[in-house]
Structure 1
Amino acid sequence: MIPVYSVAQVRVVESQEIARRGDATLMKLAATALASEAVAMLDEHPLTTQSLVVGLIGPGNNGGDGLYALAQLAELGCSILALQCTDKIHAEALADYTKAGGTLLPLSQGQDALANASLVIDAIYGIGYRPGADLPNLPRGARVLACDVPSGLDAATGLADDDVLLAERTLTFGAMKTGLLIGDGPLVTGELSVASLDFDFSEQNAQTQLVDENVARELLDQHRSWRDAGRHKYQRGVLGLIAGSELYPGAAQLTARAAVNCGVGLLRTHVPEEIAGLVAAAAPETVPLDDEQIREALSSARRYLHGRGAKISAWAIGPGLDSRTPPTGIIADVFTSRQPAVIDASGLELVPTGPSEQPRVLTPHAKELRMLLRRAGVSVTTEEIATDPVRWTRWAALAYNAVVLLKGPTSYIVAPNGSSLVVCHGAAQLATAGSGDVLTGILGYLLSDSSITGVSGLQTVSNSRMMELTACAASIHGYLGRITAKDGTVSASRLIDRLPAAMKEFGF
């Protein structure tokens, strides 16, 4: 996992590293990483003519990083140009850049070059940005690589100016910074990566841990075995879905299709009779589940929770339920079991507060989190949640004794003990009707498969593993949004159609 630190923590460690290794050494290390990232981006869109890389250069070390990187790119055969965006400039880095044959122009004389640039390196401010500073206007469609932090973004708060330089990719130095992941951060950073530069954060406590796609793959592989190929359908996860209503028939269909397209061994559905035909038509692989069969499954679970003897190994509850007339009795019975459950949408209005033996994941968006907190006696506004999402998600996790996933461009996953993970996908296209139902199907499947959870027999899934799998589901969901958006607009149905290919990318 990738530790996330505050800007204040990064500044402390950065000062220590400068004292130990020297300013110029660190800048040149950062520049090497930046130049490598630039080459990777240029290789994604190879040109027949020589690539022009334009650097937007600011006054401090961030500008120095950019100048040193441009000098290295010149040695690799790129055509380079530096545009001075502020009154001051890093003198030593400028000398190195000039020695490499680079030209420095004022920003006002560089508009034609920006229009023709293969890549723009934003090296103006970094973590030293202050709101209200002048920022250049870039041509529409410019490919931007941000050096450390996109100019116009406050790396401490995640607040961005209206004219922030939107990055296609951001390479941040030392460590992942909080402001890149909260507020406006995920909307302006593009693809995020970290060049650690061997900074020593051993004396700092990370604020949270970031789970990216590579980490998600590692987490999913923890308990997989070559023997999994010999399992039958009941061993590959049996998910019980309680969802849908005559008022909202589509949600149950979407969640069912998502679970099936993930590859669940067996999906059993408890839906109102009025929409049973619709669900069966949407996902003919499903098997209906009535009240008596649920009680039988819960009774069986007292003897065997997971694997060969489990009639249901996990639950997904809530999508499309009519909150006015939900099947409260049978859901209450499920809430007393020790089988893992993901609870979404109207199911969040039914989940009880307080201690519970059931491992649960609650998946609210901000308004639903406000509702959960008010049910627990905590009054808060959505604006307050947006300002400090981890704090308020932590309150809900404690109140409901559950792992809570706060959904958004950055997803926050918090356990009752206060530990947290974060997933940042920045796929705005996922803000579409039914997208959350797809996420519920993905997570429901992950919780149902014992080769993923790593538990069998009468073991229960730990909150730490519930957190990890929730982060994995959010990561798959974010990846799914990005690949779906590449060739058109996004809808929940299109997400589901792409789900088998996405699952394959994560090792399924």
Structure 2
Amino acid sequence: MGVVILAYTAADVRAAEEPLLGAGLPLMDRAAHALATRVAVLLREQRGQVRGASVAVIAGSGSNGGDALHAGALLALRGVAVTAVLTSPRAHPGGLAALRAARGHVLPLADQEPEGEARDGAGVWAGEAVAAAYSADVILDGVLGIGATGAVRGPAGEVLTLLAELLADERAGGQVVSPVVVAVDTPSGIDVDTGAIPRADRPESVAARGPVLPADLTVTFGAAKAGLLLPPASRDTGRLEVVDIGLDLTGVRPAAARLESGDVAALWPVPPTDAHKYSRGVLGVVAGTPAYPGAAVLTVRAAIRSGVGMVRYQGSPGVSATVLSSCPEVVAGDGRVQAWTLGPGVDPDDGAQAERVHAALAAVLAQEQPAVVDAGALSLIPVRLAPWVVLTPHAGELAALLSAQGEDVDRAQVEAEPLRWARRAHELTAATVLLKGSTTVVVGAGGSVYAQADGPAWLATAGAGDVLAGLLGALLAGRAEDVVADPSLVAALAAAAALVHGRAAHRANPGGPVWATAVADAIPGTVAELLRA
């Protein structure tokens, strides 16, 4: 099973390339051969053979375009009909010569659309380039690589935008005959370090998407780049494959990481043979109000199914009775705990529950107890917390939290730059921040960053956040002493919780709708499967 994916900044990758390039090693040849091999596998899967297939290369002027053109030349030598759309008059000379020598077809892109029927023969217009690319079996996006910044502009941006619109319309209609899009190193137009997508018309803004062609597969060279793991660009990366070209990144701090199945066993608190319920962790839960009793039920249900030794629930008598009727294992009332989950279903205007949250937060800071702070409790936190406290907002809640701290930010801005704003919340509060989304971003002590994309789209459902809060609380309770001793561990545990949460959603109903209770009930089997792996 896979283990953690480490991702690096563009600057670190370029620095690792320098000594190899200085020694004359053919890094472009290695990248092009790996890319051509992977495309050949795709074509064989699609068509049963490589010869007779068609590939469109959209090539920019830099090394990224050179990688794509050299790969196109190798495919042409295997009998593939290769057409290269050149988005700049300064195409990579070696790649262009190789493609022409292999009898590939070259289409320069004109600088602007014609007026009326006039054209000067200098190149094809964007619409013609799109038609040529769209008829291929595979499209290689080689416009911009890690050396570029900002959006794809001009005719190249228009080509990518038109292709993206065509593919989106076709796939929304249930069609499956469209070309497979393969990004060369990175999808063109993303911020390679942060995953943001700058706008072409307003370079200073990322509040709306710039031109990006979403990839089905990204073949990246040397090491994963952080922006490939981070949202919103992670939605455009597709399946990620890293090609080893000989880079040495030993000692370089990763900019982001993604846990895989094989990482969970090392993080999960598996009880020894002499364990008892107190040694396995006791989780205090302040969740739910008479208006939202289900949030309390889901939170404690998820915590119990995650393997915590005991759950102590604090709430009104009516909600306590509801919780106990669903989960008789729960102990209602005060008592010694090792960690807390605070906030699911809590209305900050409910004085009694708000007071319980305040009391628990005071214990968290005074007694150095880990905690999950979710939903209604987010507006009740003190100014400064500790790294063993995990805040679990969605984008709207994070915007509100930051605004309360004096930051000028709204939900759209958080969604456009999740890493930036999660990092800012960590700086302001000292807490670990788990920003929920289709790709969940975790920022913790020491600058650690995780990006998890493990759940199906069906997981965007009421109560799913309550399940995650209970699951993560159980994990922190089971390793309470460890996380206080090593705060950097908290972010890894939060990422592991997001992974298990997503995998449990898949397990609850593979390929179809899921609901929060089913996700909670799928946690035990999911954890067992991951531990066996």
Q: Same fold (TM over 0.5)?
A: yes
Partner of 1:218 in structure 2? 263
> What SS class does the counterpart of residue 228 from structure 1 fall into?
coil
Partner of 1:359 in structure 2? 388
2:246 to 184, 195, 198: 198
Residues 26-175 of structure 1: pairs in structure 2 closer than 5 A:
26-38=27-39, 48=48, 52=53, 54-59=55-60, 60-70=62-72, 79=80, 81-86=82-87, 88=89, 89-97=91-99, 103-104=104-105, 106=107, 108=128, 111=131, 114-115=134-135, 117=137, 119-127=138-146, 128=148, 130-132=152-154, 133-136=157-160, 137=163, 139=167, 140-141=170-171, 142-155=179-192, 158-159=196-197, 161=209, 163-175=211-223
Partner of 2:282 in structure 1? 238
Q: Work out the CA distance in 1 between the residues paired with 2:244 and 2:250.
A: 13
For the 8 Å contact 2:403–2:409, the answer to whether it is kept is no
CA drift at 1:385: 4.6
Deviations 1:196-222 (A, max 9, x none): 53335579765x3322325xx436415
Amino acid at match of 1:26: L
1:188 to 225, 236, 247: 236
CA drift at 1:493: 4.0
CA drift at 1:189: 1.3
CA drift at 1:74: 6.8
Partner of 1:320 in structure 2? 345
Rate the CA distance shift 1:104–1:395 in 2: closer, same or farther, 3 A: closer
Amino acid at match of 1:130: V
RMSD: 3.9
Amino acid at match of 1:144: V
Deviations 1:396-439 (A, max 9, x none): 43544422223334434334x55231214286554433222122
Partner of 2:531 in structure 1? 507
Q: Work out the CA distance in 2 between the residues paired with 1:255 and 1:223.
A: 19
Amino acid at match of 1:380: D
For the 8 Å contact 1:323–1:349, the answer to whether it is kept is yes
Q: Work out the CA distance in 1 between the residues paired with 2:253 and 2:388.
A: 27
CA drift at 1:485: 8.7
> What SS class does the counterpart of residue 62 from structure 1 fall into?
helix
2:380 to 350, 362, 366: 350
> What SS class does the counterpart of residue 503 from structure 1 fall into?
helix
For the 8 Å contact 1:159–1:183, the answer to whether it is kept is no
Rate the CA distance shift 1:124–1:443 in 2: closer, same or farther, 3 A: same
Q: Work out the CA distance in 1 between the residues paired with 2:243 and 2:260.
A: 17
Partner of 1:260 in structure 2? 304
CA drift at 1:3: 5.2
Rate the CA distance shift 1:505–1:189 in 2: closer, same or farther, 3 A: farther
Q: Work out the CA distance in 2 between the residues paired with 1:223 and 1:478.
A: 16
For the 8 Å contact 2:302–2:471, the answer to whether it is kept is yes
For the 8 Å contact 2:73–2:99, the answer to whether it is kept is yes
> What SS class does the counterpart of residue 121 from structure 1 fall into?
strand
Partner of 1:307 in structure 2? none
> What SS class does the counterpart of residue 383 from structure 2 fall into?
coil
> What SS class does the counterpart of residue 290 from structure 2 fall into?
coil
CA drift at 1:180: 3.3
Amino acid at match of 1:434: G
Partner of 2:432 in structure 1? 403
Partner of 2:360 in structure 1? 334
CA drift at 1:371: 3.6
Deviates more, 1:321-330 or 1:106-115: 106-115
2:24 to 18, 21, 33: 21
Deviations 1:257-299 (A, max 9, x none): 3223434344343343323454345x43531321xxx2x31xx
Rate the CA distance shift 1:470–1:355 in 2: closer, same or farther, 3 A: closer
> What SS class does the counterpart of residue 158 from structure 2 fall into?
coil
Partner of 2:121 in structure 1? none
Partner of 1:470 in structure 2? 494
Deviations 1:128-164 (A, max 9, x none): 4633433252543443221111134343662165652
Amino acid at match of 1:342: V
Q: Work out the CA distance in 2 between the residues paired with 1:347 and 1:230.
A: 36
> What SS class does the counterpart of residue 221 from structure 1 fall into?
helix
Amino acid at match of 1:126: G
Deviations 1:311-342 (A, max 9, x none): x3322111001211142444334331433211
Q: Work out the CA distance in 2 between the residues paired with 1:314 and 1:345.
A: 17
Residues 418-497 of structure 1: pairs in structure 2 closer than 5 A:
418-425=446-453, 429-450=458-479, 455=482, 460-480=484-504, 487-497=511-521
Amino acid at match of 1:81: V
Q: Work out the CA distance in 2 between the residues paired with 1:123 and 1:505.
A: 39
Rate the CA distance shift 1:114–1:355 in 2: closer, same or farther, 3 A: closer
TM-score (norm 2): 0.74
Q: Give the unaligned 5+ runs of structure 2.
A: 108-123, 172-178, 199-208
Amino acid at match of 2:233: G
Rate the CA distance shift 1:36–1:220 in 2: closer, same or farther, 3 A: farther
Q: Work out the CA distance in 2 between the residues paired with 1:7 and 1:95.
A: 28
Q: How many residues align?
A: 471
